Amino acid sequence: MRILVTRRMTHAAERALSERFDAKILDRKDGLSPEEAHEAMREFDAIMPTLGDRFAAEAFQGDLRCRLIANFGAGYNHIDVAAAAKSGIAVSNTPDAVTEATADIALTLILMTARRAGEGERLLRAGGWTGWQPTQLLGRHVTGATVGIIGMGRIGKAIARRCHFGFGMEVLFHNRSMVSALDLPARQVEGLDELLRQSDFAVIAVPGGAATRHLIGARELALLGPHSFLINIARGDVVDEAALVAALQSGLIAGAGLDVYEREPLVSPALCGMENVTLLPHLGTAAEEVRTAMAMKALSNLVAFSEGRALPNPVN
């Protein structure tokens, strides 16, 4: 079976993929355009894409050779799943492999933003640190604060465990459906508005896509208020970035920690110029073991497909 892998992977992953399949591995920094995705589906039996490859509806037109898109990642809003299904193409993802690492990044952003760690490092590297002072770079104490988690799926639950057991935080969450059987004390609130009003830290952990685009805008940021922080480790367009910039500049909220952006890899110059924002370059799963595990899970879907078995992680 001939497969296309759209980005370079870890050495272990590339070796495993090449040993099992006739694999072409692209060495490029940008994602496939819809036109390039269409051509790839005409040429290959299966494709292993990544975030940024645009498998839009128009890419699925005409006679296609491809019968599986084995996505490298849990989120798949860059793939028009309905159009794929209509063309007889299965889509799979890698949900479990990303959970713990992404939750770690959420806590990294909470701590860095609340304790002004990025600002402090920049001050020190620039030679501006003159020594310890009792009032220098005073931040927000995290232990015992209230965290509101927007989206209580696998990643949301992993974040909740870290916040509660690691920092004694009160955990609130908002989810589209009822969540039960949690292994920690957490309270589900009925509306997003209520969660934002009560949270010291609001953490976004919802899937991307049309249903959640601009879920957080100017109105929601005003509800969060001037003493609270927004953390986003989900998808960039869940937040109206222009509204976020305005809220940060005006002091409508205290700060933000971001690992994702509305127009990746472009980042607002205004965000880059503010000290009350922690900015990471989409590091959510950036650990070698995790990236290899993600590729191996995608490989398991490819192998199952090639052997005529049910996909371990079907999306459509």
pLDDT in tens, 241-298: 999 999 999 999 999 999 999 999 999 999 999 999 999 999 999 999 999 999 999 9
pLDDT in tens, 53-95: 999 999 999 999 999 999 999 999 999 999 999 999 999 999 9
pLDDT in tens, 161-180: 999 999 999 999 999 999 98
Return the active site residues.
235, 264, 282
Q: Which domains does the chain have, with CATH numbers?
A: 2-93+287-306 (3.40.50.720), 99-279 (3.40.50.720)
The Cα–Cα gap between 276 and 16 comes to 43
pLDDT (mean) for 92-116: 97
Alpha-carbon distance values, 254 to 67, 85, 149, 228, 230 (Å):
48, 44, 17, 5, 8
The Cα–Cα gap between 214 and 47 comes to 30
Q: In what order do the strands lie in the sheet with 255-258?
A: 187-188, 170-174, 146-150, 201-204, 229-232, 255-258, 277-279
pLDDT computed for residue 180 by the predictor: 87
The Cα–Cα gap between 316 and 313 comes to 10
Task: State the CB neighbour count (10 A cutoff) for residue 193.
Answer: 13
Confidence band of 229 (pLDDT split at 50, 70, 90): very high
Assessment of whether the complete model's pTM goes beyond 0.85: yes
State yes or no: pLDDT of 151 exceeds 90.
yes
The Cα–Cα gap between 146 and 199 comes to 5
Confidence band of 181 (pLDDT split at 50, 70, 90): confident
